[in-house]
Structure 1
Amino acid sequence: MAKGPVLVVDFGAQYAQLIARRVREANVYSELVPHSMPVDEMLAKDPQAIILSGGPASVYEPGAPDIDPKIFEAGVPVLGICYGFQVMAHELGGDVDKAALGEYGKTPATIDDSEGLLANSPVEQNTWMSHGVAVKRAPEGFKVLAHTEGAPVAAMQDESRKLYGVQWHPEVKHTPLGQELISTFLHKCAGLDNNWNPSNIIEDQVAKIRAEVGNAQVICGLSGGVDSAVAAALVHKAIGDQLTCVFVDHGLLRKGEVEQVKHDFVEATGIKL
């Protein structure tokens, strides 16, 4: 079983960061990587699953971003979203229709088979679309799960290879059942456990700081703002009295900020100032 993160491959999507967030909201750790990263480097991260994001391009445009097809042969569960869905279909021999009817905004989708990725889905569900071309024919081995007026293949899967795709955007709240789809992909299709929660961020950073600092002494410039305060609190949690914070009252701080740092922050954290 793979031990790495779920990789979100960014094809220039405005929602790529949101996809990564939705994965974490499903209690699985994710990392964002550019589509230009060689597939061998992606696979070297030992990903538990891969999600291909949307993007503004068309697979037919000269210079449009693509991906090495061997990513689909690596045995790693893959979910394609919007452009990522079209790239998957195109690279695996499906028919992507550049003359298709575009769909933008709220779009009703008809679920032809409520199984696998769309298990327990109602026959009709509202989705959020933003596409000018569409998959007209799924690649060999794929089962069509859903269609819309403008997308003959709006969702598909090949469970034998753990490859899945949807034309709509499950990561946005405008797709009411979107988070359920992402969770189904992660936990049922890819078989991943709940292995991450936000508290892991603190634990991971504290461990990294301890390993980096060792027995050394550390000085931290404390401005009174959120960034330096959080950094100081994390470092202090990791190394305790090895940290000394330096705060400069330069006369241009907000009213009461000097007292807030000298007294409230120090009292709450125990940091040496």
Structure 2
Amino acid sequence: MREQPEQQAPPVQRLRVRYAKRGRLRFTSHRDFSRAFERALVRAQVPVAYSSGFNPHPRISYAGASPTGAASEAEYLEIGMAAEVDPAVLGTALDEALPPGLDVLEVVVSPGGSLADRLEASHWRITVDVPVDEASAAVATFLAADEVSVERMTKKGLRTFDCRAAVVSLAVSPSESASDGGSGECAILDVVLRHGTPSVRPDDILAGLRAAAGLEVSGAPLHERLAQGPLDTELGTVEDPFAPDRDTA
């Protein structure tokens, strides 16, 4: 009979981490980041708690990870700790142990509850190589539609879903280079997306603009997540998910 593994003690502290994916590091997949983060925990000598069982693993919960290739200022995870630590000290140690471009921005103590439940919406900036007036016309057509169906390959196969329903707001502005006297051939789409199943991504919005208004985007658009958190339904804005944690600190 196989010997039962040693049971690990439950975490004595849970910490929530906000981190960024910047520059070329935006091309790291979620699996790549999780490996890099676990190595950083070892290098920083973090007293992370481990699960029980025959294959113990660090108690890390990831929430709302961005798609591969998207930059982000608002990625989140939670760590279970085997000993209490100062969140600020831990944040500095982890940031130094991670490669530049994977940057720890803030660490707070979790008061309990689900962090994922707070991540109701995301605020995205999508830079596309399209004239501003053309992008504006396409956005107006998209927003006027009751439903815009797009297709995407998922783990369960090809799925068709309505990307319009997830859009809380969508606006167009010129890029900084265009406003500073550039060619004017680059537009920025500012979009707030409500999370759901399947989660609507920036590339789905571009597919929806193509389906609804025939907008063709050349080159590789830059997707940047600026915020992720609770949705203020009255203002249509994405709030800070760590705000309640700082209030109870």
* TM-score strictly above 0.5: no
Structure that is richer in strand per residue: 2
Q: Which has the higher contact order (CA 8 A, sep 6+)?
A: 2
Q: Which interval holds the TM-score relative to the shorter structure?
A: under 0.3
> Structure 2 length as normaliser, TM-score?
0.24
Structure that is richer in helix per residue: 1
